């Protein structure tokens, strides 16, 4: 089985496993106690904090360990907003942040605060100028991920941090996806991370708060972790997390080059091997191990199941694989195709042979899924039938992705050049995938029209 989902959770690094086992015998006692066992535990905790702080690029007394990366985000945002409540209650996030950031933003909005969401370019990156324009006199905090978790695009953190510094606004960076590859550049104020993303154990997060940043811990007071992360520290897990971060950093320079070559191979070969594919995300300014592509006329859930049967563990941002049946907020913000979405994120040490095997399996797997769904297999006809109507209506109500797009593709040649097709759909993914299909096919997307049920998506045929 080839595990290609390191962006969700990286396999436990051998150094993490060794450190975890070794510290179980020494790190079980209360590090706040002065007796021998407590002092040993304190030494392990302090050493882990120093190791992690060095890798992150902060002082040890600026870093605390939390029970997860999500908890680090929630704690960091809440504390920073509370610390600057006299400035105002305005929060800035990008449209492609991790759900933990967006959930915190929603909670802040429900509590009476205001939130600005900065849009992204089609590559998934924010424009530093657009981010700077969102800053206001009452902005208490700004948030920006270092790299996107779904498409791998790196964000211009240094430029955004400089704009925030000039405005006197602290910047919180969610660095969960990038910490394995190096420290975050730029003048960030707060930073969060998650150990299981870099090969450490689950249940350990990190929160760094620079000296001088106004910060007010929320919740009941607790003496642990400078009052910023309550509860007894899981010292063996913390030690393993710090040790693995140092270990993966030692491998990062060589592995980033090797894995980038493999992901570049996938980026180049997939559109050659599989028709009707859109590779999304920035092709250059991205994480070395992660890429995403979307396949027209494909049910994402079925595709992932078939790849799993073929021995590949991958993930997806497709609405067809989610319980909500709505497309990924990241893909939606980027305005790219969401159906048949596949995210490949390679763990350290992934053999090149497994990538080649993936490339050999993918084309027939996608073809089989398309055939099962009745997707069009030939190029669109160049001549419309004699007497073809100037407008057609496709009723795709109650049918989920990718069926509305498949039905559109089947009938578009049934209208003359300049004619229109109205696709009736109540699937949220259609709002994203029909315009994406038009761009890929050279057809004109006219826009939406109200309908008795769902929405009418209007497409004009302008290409043969």
Alpha-carbon span 287 to 178, nearest angstrom: 7
Alpha-carbon span 407 to 423, nearest angstrom: 8
Q: How many CB atoms lie within 10 A of CB 250?
A: 11
Q: How is 182-215 classified by DSSP, letter by letter?
A: -PPPS--SEEEEEGGGTTS-TT-EEEEE-TT---
Report yes or no: 296 and 405 within 8 Å, Cβ to Cβ.
yes
* DSSP bridge pairs for 459: 421, 445
* DSSP bridge pairs for 173: 144, 191
- Residue 441 CA from chain centroid, whole number: 27
Provide the token pair at 169. Answer: 């606004």
- Phi then psi dihedrals of residue 442, to 5 deg: 75, 20
| Cα–Cα distance list, 449 to 56, 437, 441 (Å) | 50, 18, 21
Place of tokens 């990286």: 10
Alpha-carbon span 337 to 436, nearest angstrom: 5
DSSP class of 372: H
What is the side-by-side strand order in the sheet with 171-174? 63-66, 205-209, 190-194, 171-174, 139-145, 90-94, 114-118
Provide the token pair at 115. Answer: 């939130």
Q: Which of 339, 338, 463, 450 is nearest to 412 (CA)?
A: 463
Alpha-carbon span 338 to 226, nearest angstrom: 43
- Phi then psi dihedrals of residue 422, to 5 deg: -110, 120
Provide the token pair at 4. Answer: 């290609």
DSSP class of 347: P
Which active-site residues does the annotation give? 320
Give the CA angle between residues 63, 72, 209 to the nearest 5°. 35
Would you call 120 helix, strand, or coil by DSSP?
strand
Alpha-carbon span 347 to 418, nearest angstrom: 49
Query: What is the sign, positive or negative, of the torsion defined by CA atoms of 237, 242, 245, 250?
Result: negative
């Amino acid at each position: 089985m080839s595990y290609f989902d390191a962006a969700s959770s990286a396999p436990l690094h051998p150094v993490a496993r060794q450190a975890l086992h070794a510290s179980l015998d020494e790190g079980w006692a209360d590090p706040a106690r002065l007796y021998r066992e407590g002092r040993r535990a304190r030494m392990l905790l302090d050493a882990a904090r120093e190791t992690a702080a060095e890798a992150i690029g902060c002082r040890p007394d600026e870093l605390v360990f939390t029970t997860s990366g999500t908890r680090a985000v929630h704690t960091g945002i809440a504390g920073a907003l509370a610390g600057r409540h006299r400035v105002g209650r305005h929060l800035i996030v990008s449209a492609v942040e991790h759900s933990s950031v967006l959930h915190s933003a929603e909670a802040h909005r429900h509590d009476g605060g205001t939130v600005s969401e900065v849009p992204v370019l089609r590559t998934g990156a924010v424009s530093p100028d657009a981010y700077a324009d969102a800053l206001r006199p009452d902005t208490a905090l700004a948030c920006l991920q270092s790299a996107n978790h779904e498409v791998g695009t790196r964000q211009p953190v240094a430029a955004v941090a400089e704009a925030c510094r000039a405005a006197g606004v602290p910047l919180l960076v969610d660095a969960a996806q990038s910490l394995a590859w190096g420290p975050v550049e730029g003048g960030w104020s707060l930073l969060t991370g998650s150990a299981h993303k870099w090969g450490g154990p689950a249940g350990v997060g990190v929160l760094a708060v620079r000296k001088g940043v106004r910060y007010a811990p929320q919740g009941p007071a607790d003496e642990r972790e400078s009052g910023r992360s309550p509860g007894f520290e899981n010292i063996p897990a913390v030690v393993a997390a710090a040790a693995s971060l140092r270990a993966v950093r030692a491998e990062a320079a060589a592995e980033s080059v090797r894995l980038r070559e493999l992901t570049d191979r996938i980026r180049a070969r997939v559109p050659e091997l599989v028709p009707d594919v859109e590779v999304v995300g920035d092709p250059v300014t991205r994480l070395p191990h992660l890429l995403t592509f979307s396949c027209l006329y494909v049910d994402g859930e079925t595709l992932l199941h078939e790849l799993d049967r073929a021995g590949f563990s991958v993930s997806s941002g497709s609405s067809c694989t989610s319980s909500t049946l709505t497309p990924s907020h990241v893909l939606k913000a980027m305005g790219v195709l969401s159906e048949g979405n596949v995210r490949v994120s390679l763990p350290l040490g992934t053999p090149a042979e497994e990538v080649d095997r993936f490339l050999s399996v993918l084309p027939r797997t996608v073809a089989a899924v398309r055939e099962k769904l009745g997707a069009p297999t030939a190029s669109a006809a160049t001549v419309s039938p004699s007497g073809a109507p100037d407008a057609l209506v496709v009723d795709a109500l109650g049918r989920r992705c990718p069926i509305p797009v498949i039905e559109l593709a089947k009938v578009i040649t049934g209208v003359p050049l300049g004619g229109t097709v109205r696709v009736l759909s109540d699937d949220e993914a259609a709002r994203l995938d029909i315009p994406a299909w038009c761009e890929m096919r050279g057809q004109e997307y006219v826009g939406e029209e109200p309908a008795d049920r769902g929405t009418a998506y209007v497409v004009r045929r302008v290409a043969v």
